[in-house]
Structure 1
Amino acid sequence: MPDSSGDPVRLMPTTTTATPALLVKVPLRTTSFVGRQALLRAVQEQLQAQDTRAVLPHALHGLGGVGKSQLALEYVYTHQHDYKVICWIPAERESLIVFALAGLAAHLGIAPGGRDSLGAPSADTAVPAVLEALRTGAPYDNWLLVFDNAEDIEMARSYFPTNGPGKVIVTSRNRHWERVATPLQVNVFERQESVELLQKRSPDLTPEDADRLAEALGDLPLAVEQAGAWRAVTGMLVDECLDLLAQGSPEILELDPNPDYPVSVAAAWDISLERIRENNPGARQLLDICAGMAPEPIPRSMLRGSRSVGIPPEVDALLRESIKLNRAVRDLSQFSLVKVDPRSDTIQMHRLLQTVLLAKLSAEERALVRDATHQLLAAAKPGSCSSPTEWPAYQALLPHVLASLAVISTDIYVRELVYDTVHFLYFWGDHEGAADLARQAWNAWSAVSGEEDIHVVRTARTLSFLLRQTGGIPESIPLVERALEVSRRSDGDPEELIESLVELADGRRYQGRFEEAWDLSKKATELARDLFGPEDPTTLRGTHSWGVDLRLRGQFREALPLDRENARLLEVLFGPTSFFTLNSLNGLSVGMRESGDYLSARDFQEDVHRQARTAFGEEHPLTLRIARDLAVCRRRDGALEEAAKLAEETLQRFITRYGPDHFDALFTATNVSVDLRLAGDHEGSRRLGETTLRGYVARLGENHAHTLLTKANLAATHRALGAPEQAQELEDDAARRLTDTVGPRHITTLTVAIGQANTAYALLDIERAHKIDSANLAELAEVAGEDHPLTLSCTANLALDLRRLGRGAEADEIQRKAVAGFSRVVRDDHPWLLAARQGRRIECDMAPMPL
């Protein structure tokens, strides 16, 4: 039996010696299950009829309370020997599906790079990995997934493995599943099944009395189960039971004339609820509080650890003494009002009971119950949301945070729970879910507290950041602009002003407004240094942002000492393998590379990559970003095959994680397109370059520097394909736009000019090539330095211009200068050095730098 970690359960076979399936997240078997043999056979027959080459769901649907989930659960345990792995997936919310699939990935060991030392997988790594594993049947074929309570058809179907060797069962009340699935209607019990369950609960019941009681209950399985529970506990006479049921029904209809639940089960619950209220008032009130949560399991640790919070005194008394709490849970369980799972140490309430309980409360009572629910959740807030060891605790609380509408609370501790939950979702990899919750919080808090409230300001910044991560740049910018306005006029903590400056700088980078970003991050850093000193975390965050902006402006030599010192301080503060330290070291290596020190940059980045792989694994986003920049370092150092291999692997991992249009995927695709061209796959380079360019235009716009350098790289591919006219059109447009946006002396603009001269040379317009190279050489020598490989490349190309113009002596001298310079700064077998020696044009590529 596993502990509360939720490890899968292997049950001993009862009817066969075959190895039972690996059961992942499957609830406990219901001991009171009776009958339904015809339905179980129908499930088996329809699943067998499914084409094993294509997953088609078999949907169980019907009214609430008819036992759809219990039927699916009984099928699982009855046929566990027919499958190799079975996973139960709560499907009412997308986040629950993601959690379940991530847990399955961890148990199957198929997402090792996305797991910490305790086996907590990241969502954006684990979910694609497990779906691919199910599709291919490795490590397990013949699997079964049960999507329980899946009301949103398209959302649930998006998580079905495609063409995999397994089966899918769906339980739902949504009849529209009939359009896409093989339906099986689940109705009320046959009378004999009702009688059997009642007598199983109360052996003293005669068949005649059980029949009378079943008639009054309408043979609804949930109502029969409930009546059987309180009849077994109380020993109530059947006539008295029938009187109470009759008395309860009109009251239920008064509460809700059109209930979403059968009247019989509500009336049956009324009897149990009244008895609990009489015997254990605190347990009855605890039930109301739990009704305000999600119908998913509630960790009992949340109750045990919640003392001295604003909840009713009767409930508070339960939480202060574990014996009283255990007694209350036992009483509720005996009346079948909650299910207790000792494996995960959770309790769970049927969603229909939650509906009944909430319907009984007045608006004022509901508000009090909701507040108590929020208080319990806030008191149970886990530790650092960025720590994988805390993720399971956040996962357990998330459905209750959402269902209880914690975002509407004005309590600061509840708001902190919501804020940290947003960040947990981001760190865990559910960026869309994080943005959605952040948006809910920002809307709710700003409406109640106003834009000056510190929680509103912080959430606006967070939402702005998350929108940029998910592609919503236009929407993100006004949010952080407004946050900065509020921070500037506020008399509050200056740290808020600094954070707003840094966040807006980040937004300006995505807009391509590098000068404004630099000004903002510089101000943030200087203010932080004055107020907090150079070693404060806020100062270090501002300094990192400033270094990013210096690199984007092409000021690599200015950025290097700043980045070196910041990385050193981060290592002292957070350790050598922390996220912040390694992220800073990655920026430092980019600066080293772009300043022209290709050899040292590669050696340095190889070490950073090794540290990231050790600390976070192959699949962590930071590891992948470091790998992407390492691939560029290898290419610039002349190791073309190694560079191409790493870049392609990294691109596929980014696509698997985020999709092809995510910024990380686009940045990497730009590099892979260059690698393909250098490897001679010109058509492949062109196709990928064109696709990537379209992605940049859609995400960053036509004038962003990253869009334009990708266009210039594509021009080089067209030259390689023998289409210089198309190359010229692309390059001239890129050069004009870059001149307008980042300036004529920006390193990217000057690198594009090297390509423009190459195009003119290919078109036999040697005069134009010479004019461009001559002017560009002077600019590069001043901006990048005379020994920068870009400057030396322009020098070598200028020698070729002169030679074609009949100026052989000048060409010889300039060529010797280029070769001598390359010999000092690159390896002996570097492609650019070889090209300079052999009198061939040098093509210089560009790589997007981190924003």
Structure 2
Amino acid sequence: MVRIRLYASEGHAANPQVAVDAAMVAASILVQMPDLADRVSREGRGFASIHADEIHAGAAGTDWVAHADIVLDVKAYDATIRKQLHAGIHSIVQGEAAASGAAQKPEITTAVRAPPTTNDAALAAHVGGASRRFFGRDKVLDSLPQHPCEDFSVLATADIPINHSPFNMPLLHPTLETGIHALSFAMLSIVGNASNAGSYVLLPVLPWERLAIPVQVRARVLAADALNNLHHAGNGFVHIVAGAKVGQLGSNVARTQSDRRNVAAVPLEFLGQSDGHHIEGNLGHAVGEVFALAHCRASVSFETDDLEWLSDPRKQLTQAAAAAAADAAGGAEFAKWLLIFDNVDEITMLDPFWPAGPHGSILITSRDPLTKTDLATRGVDVPPMSEVECVLMLCTEVDELPTKPATKEAALALVRPVGRLPLAIAQCAARIRRTDTSIEEYMNRFGRGDLMNELKKVQVLPPQQQYKHVLDTVWRFERFSAPALGLFHVLAFFDPDSVSERILEVDAAVEAEPDGVPCAYPKPGEEYDNTRVEIMRTSLVNRNKETRSLSWHRMVQKAVRSKMSAVDAQRAYQLAVHLLHQAWEYAEDRFSRESRKRPACDEVVPHVLTMMRAYGAAVRGRPLALPSARRLVVLLQETGYYLILSAQHGAVDKILDLAIGICEAYGDDMRDLLANTKFSYARFGGETNMDPKRVLGYCMDYHTIRKALDDGSLESREDVASSHTSLAQGYLFLDQFEAALEHCQTCIAIEAALPGHEGVLSQFAHIYRAWALYGLQRDEEAAKLSMVVIQYRTTKFGQDDMESVKWDEEDVLTVGLEPRLGLALHCLANARRRQGRILASFKAYQKAWANYRATEGPDTWRLAQIDLKLAEIYVTQPNIPGTAELAKEHFDRAIKAFGRSPFHKNELARALYRHALSLGELKTPLGPQPTYEKAKGLYYGLRPEASRETPPGEAEFDSLVRFWSR
């Protein structure tokens, strides 16, 4: 705790201009503290925090403040960081006091210091183990150091142990119950026996009023009971957004709702992955069409726009209908919706899917007993299926009638010991079908066998572990043919939600690795069909006939993977790499990325991400054979590059880091692949605002390796030429335009000397040359060179160019545009605009916008750059009707797109500033400036060293972005 006293000079309130105001100096100091903490935290790579506990200045009845007192709370785990914080505070305080002209120096003292609390390792391990047994392993986490309050270390010795903030009151429920349970079981783990008892299964239904709705989850669930309690029930029009994998509860709720009047259902597939969550399918089209929502798009992932739709689901109405509607929101009619998440094993998976608004409900089912207190003030502990329902389910699965007493008795003898778990009953039914026996015969033969004895153990397990035990047990007792086992082992390393049989049903001839024994795998055709029939009989795997894809539960996949030996795991992993390498249609393409192959690559990407996460478990200290390692690196590098081109940057750095690590481990055998990966990393850096010096470093690495590998062959010379264009791009990021021109010219010269060259590489060099000329303000040369590139694309690829130039059918029909190339068109538009040729610039921007949207998607930063340029042009034409609305539309799109990306805060800051200018906020300094204040806040966050005395203007915001964005 740091105490600061700032002294004022003698003066009077009537003449503040001739005196030092201590309160103003204090305010100036305080606004700099967050930036100081952020800067020290980034530089020291550790936690740092500064906030004001107290500030006092003046007293009632006085005209002038004699002094101002500040009490700062400084937190850091690291002593070096704490020292830097204190040094920064002293520097800022003394600097502000000196700048104000105060005659007396400020007083700075350290009042209280509290040491960090370090847990006793043995005691923490003991309590952690007990907590995991009760709460479940997924609910007890080993975290980094936390900072509840600085007096935590001495809290137990206080007379009144209470957190000192007057406003510190977390949500009472479930905080109170969870805290009591955690403390109680921590104590009982030491002085008594902590119970493992818990609810069998929990079904919370969560409308926006955060109420829990009583619902029974059974084989034939009474879904109407749930619907009658949902807060939108009886409103006359309810839409359902449900998952294709929704279990019995979700499907029955959907079915019951659909039977009612004015109800529509939207089927979607819900997927949750560790590196990102999304709902697959044409959500924008489906929701927009069925709900009649405004602003629907053709195809989107379940992200910001979709949450906004659900938060504000206004239907498109005719004027007459809108006038007649008695809705409070301006005459709009709102759709009602029910979002169903069934069998949620990890509740945090749902974090990205919470809309905000009063127009719908969320229904969640889970086996986790704590879901009730995690999500609502009240929840429902749902009892298991009754014995009668279990018997009916078993008999239905094996196609028997429970009318015979012997059948009913045998069925009861089977379902009772397995805990009445639907999954266990389904697994037993599958075995009965495969043995071609009745339930009675099966129990007579196997009722006292090892399988039933193992399944009986489920009765003493906590609910979170019951399904895992059933799956592990069933898998252990299954007996498969060698091809079926090989197929299972390969599936263990693929994404479990959907594996296309296009990937699986191929000739999987691969080197006998790692122990000289080939991996058994079904051959295409009859053997594969027979193997698929074999594994489908187990009920462990599902098949979608329409998409010809296999899927299984993640718990099944984990069970299979856990039972594999190290050698089997590596053998299956290498075979999986081989299958994906064959399925990846870009693997042999060196300079083209044809969009017509995107659907095939989209099928492979989730599996490459799964392989990346499973790499350590598959290798286990035994390096992959060189051919498999090379295939894996090619897959990783290609996938990373593909995701970069698709503006999906989330997992790219992890993918490329693994590829570089593998390449470096194999040395010279993978130098060529290391070069390609460095090239991809440079492209990734350019797309994500990485430090330009680091980007240039990757470009130089790529160039150096390619020069070292140059053996004079046609391919190696092309690679060297390509490395010069990469260097040119790296120098552009640093505004070193002459160097960029030099490397572009070198690339062109190398390709010109190659026999039969077609100028494929030179077109990229021409694009970067054009941008370098634009950076040198040689606008006419830049424009002409851009036209050369556009003409080259038109001549070479014509109307069917499916690489970098795309057709947009709507544009072709309504505008009649020629094929376009985004980067060249962007450069052409910039050059024409700076020349004052606004109409030519506007047309080029329009074509660039259409090209970027067709090639990269609707929400990318390149498209946002063009949106901003178009908005700025519309602003300059206020006399043309409709331009104000069009400018706002483009500003809004640009700001939203930049705001989605964690890498483009600089572009967002400048876009907000340009929008503030268009709104006239800076013309009235004393008026409200909400947009400019947002821009200014971002600017100071990006430039913490900037002076606060002069507000940032056009030059400052332009300095945040690279030259092509200005």
- Bin the TM-score by the shorter chain: 0.5 to 0.7
- Could you say which residue in structure 1 is the equivalent of 2:418? 217
Kindly indicate whether residue 378 of structure 2 is the aligned counterpart of residue 194 of structure 1.
no
1:683/1:88 CA distance change after superposition, 3 Å: farther
Paired position in structure 2 for 1:527: 746
Match of 2:571 among 364, 368, 371: 368
Q: Contact (CA 8 Å) 2:675, 2:706: kept in 1 or not?
A: no
User: Matched residues in 1 for 2:470 and 2:853: separation?
Assistant: 59
Could you give the per-residue CA deviations for residues 475-516 of structure 1, whole angstroms, max 9, x where no partner exists?
Answer: 953762563464365224355555555445545555xx312x
Question: Is 1:850 the counterpart of 2:961 in the alignment?
Answer: no
Give how far 1:326 is off.
2.3
CA contact (8 A) 1:195 1:211 kept: yes
Corresponding residue for residue 556 of structure 1: 779
Write the distance in 2 (CA, Å) between the matches of 1:437 and 1:348.
24
Residues in 2 aligned to 1:218 and 1:544: alpha-carbon distance in whole angstroms: 68
SS of the aligned residue for 1:528 comes to helix
- Match of residue 523 from structure 2: 319
For residues 748 and 692 of structure 2, what CA distance do their matches in structure 1 show?
Answer: 31
1:460 corresponds in structure 2 to: 678
Aligned partner (choices 264, 270, 275) of residue 84 of structure 1: 264
Whole-angstrom distance in 2 between the partners of 1:680 and 1:575: 49
* Aligned partner of 1:281 among 462, 482, 488: 482
In the TM superposition, residue 446 of structure 1 has moved relative to its aligned partner by 4.0
2:448 to 235, 243, 261: 243
Structure 1 residue 153 displacement after superposition: 4.5
- 2-structure distance, mates of 1:542, 1:423: 19
CA distance in 2, matches of 1:164, 1:128: 17
Query: Hey, what's the Cα distance between the residues in 1 that align with 2:643 and 2:664?
Result: 21
3-state SS of 1:243 partner: coil
The residue aligned with 1:135 is: 311
SS at match of 2:964: coil
> Which of the residues 763, 766, 777 maps onto 1:540?
763
SS of match in other structure, 2:417: helix
Paired residues of 1:91 and 1:150 also in contact (CA < 8 A): no
Report what 1:691 is aligned to. Answer: 934
Structure 2 counterpart of 1:396: 603
2:158 maps to which residue? none
Q: Letter of the aligned partner of 1:397 in structure 2?
A: V
Deviations 1:654-686 (A, max 9, x none): 333341754554454444334334996777896
- Where 1:98 maps in the other structure, the secondary structure is strand
Moved more, 494-503 or 614-623: 614-623
- Asked if structure 1 preserves the Cα contact closer than 8 Å seen for 2:492 and 2:560, the reply is yes
- Counterpart-to-counterpart distance in 1, 2:937 and 2:629: 46
* Offset, 1:442: 3.8
CA distance, structure 1, for counterparts of residue 555 and residue 475 of structure 2: 10
Are 2:551 and 1:348 aligned?
yes
Q: SS at 1:659's partner residue?
A: helix
Distance in 2, matches of 1:507 and 1:653, equals 29
Structure 1 residues 380 and 489 mapped into 2: Cα distance closer, same or farther (>3 Å)? Answer: closer
Decide whether the 8 Å contact of 1:283 with 1:329 is kept in 2. yes
1:614 shift after superposition: 8.6
Q: Indicate whether 1:431 and 2:675 are aligned.
A: no
Paired residues, what number? Answer: 663
Alignment of 1:808-823 (within 5 A): none
Deviation at 1:194, TM superposition (A): 2.5
- The separation in 2 between residues aligned to 1:90 and 1:51, in whole angstroms, is 27
Distance in 2 of aligned mates of 1:109 and 1:49:
20
Between the aligned partners of 1:311 and 1:150, the Cα distance in structure 2 is 40
Asked if 1 retains the 8 angstrom alpha-carbon contact of 2:823 and 2:848, the reply is no
Q: Do residues 418 (structure 1) and 636 (structure 2) align?
A: yes
Answer whether contact 1:589 1:605 (CA < 8 A) is retained: yes
Q: Tell me the distance in 2 between the aligned counterparts of 1:364 and 1:158.
A: 38
| Residue matched to 2:473 | 267
The match for 1:585 is 825
Unaligned runs of 5+ in 1: 1-32, 61-66, 712-724, 742-845
Question: Residue 891 of structure 2: which of 648, 651, 666 is its match?
Answer: 651
How many Å apart are 1:368 and its aligned residue?
A: 0.9
- One of 272, 282, 293 as aligned partner of 2:494: 293
The answer to whether the Cα contact below 8 Å between 2:493 and 2:573 also exists between their aligned partners in 1 is yes
Q: CA 1:149–1:376 in 2, change beyond 3 Å: closer, same or farther?
A: farther
Amino acid at match of 1:675: S
Contact 1:525 1:542 in 2 (8 A): yes
Check the 8 A contact 1:302/1:376 in 2, yes or no: yes
**What SS does the aligned partner of 2:584 have?**
coil
* Per-residue Cα deviation, 1:776-804 (whole angstroms, up to 9, x for no partner): xxxxxxxxxxxxxxxxxxxxxxxxxxxxx
CA distances 1:578-611 after superposition (whole Å, capped 9, x unpaired):
1672330221121122134445434555566677
Q: Structure 2 vs 1, CA of residues 427 and 489 (structure 1 numbering), >3 Å: closer, same or farther?
A: closer
Q: Does 2:735 match 1:514? A: yes
Alpha-carbon distance in 2 for matches of 1:308, 1:218:
44
Q: Give the whole-Å Cα distance in 2 for the aligned partners of 1:612 and 1:294.
A: 30
Which whole-Å CA distance do the structure 2 matches of 1:58 and 1:631 have between them?
A: 36
Q: 2-side partners of 1:504 and 1:702: how far apart?
A: 31
2-side partners of 1:281 and 1:490: how far apart?
46
Q: Which residue of 1 aligns with 2:363?
A: 169
Q: 1:428 to 1:318 in 2, by over 3 A?
A: same
Contact 2:744 2:766 in 1 (8 A): yes
Distance, in Å, in 1 between the alignment partners of 2:950 and 2:476 is 78
Do 2:498 and 2:549's aligned partners in 1 also have CA atoms closer than 8 Å? Answer: yes
> What residue number does 1:751 align with?
none
The alignment's C-alpha RMSD in Å is 4.9
Superposed CA deviations along residues 149-178 of structure 1, whole A, max 9, x for unmatched, are 655645522222221522323445555544
SS of the equivalent of 1:144 reads strand
In 2, Cα distance between equivalents of 1:358 and 1:670: 53
Q: TM-score under structure 1 normalisation?
A: 0.66
Any stretches of 5+ residues in structure 2 without a counterpart? 1-215, 316-333, 616-623, 711-715, 807-819
The one-letter amino acid paired with 2:636 is V
Q: Which residue of structure 2 lines up, in the alignment, with residue 813 of structure 1?
A: none
Secondary structure at 1:217 match in 2: coil
Q: Using a 3 Å threshold, how does the CA distance of structure 1 residues 396 and 46 change in structure 2: closer, same or farther?
A: farther
**Which of 72, 77, 90 lines up with 2:250 in the alignment?**
72
Give the whole-Å Cα distance in 2 for the aligned partners of 1:303 and 1:519.
51
Residue 432 of structure 1 aligns to a residue whose secondary structure is coil
Whole-angstrom CA distance in 2 between matches of 1:357 and 1:252: 20
After TM superposition, give the deviation of residue 296 of structure 1 in Å: 0.7
Deviation at 1:303, TM superposition (A): 2.0
Is the 1:450–1:456 Cα contact (8 Å) retained in structure 2? no
Shift in Å at residue 535 of structure 1?
5.4
Contact 1:91 1:149 in 2 (8 A): no
Alpha-carbon distance in structure 1 between the residues aligned to 2:259 and 2:660:
49
Alpha-carbon distance change, 417 to 535 in structure 1, aligned in 2, over 3 angstroms: same
Would the aligned equivalents of 2:724 and 2:747 in 1 still touch at CA under 8 Å?
no
Shift of 1:228: 0.9
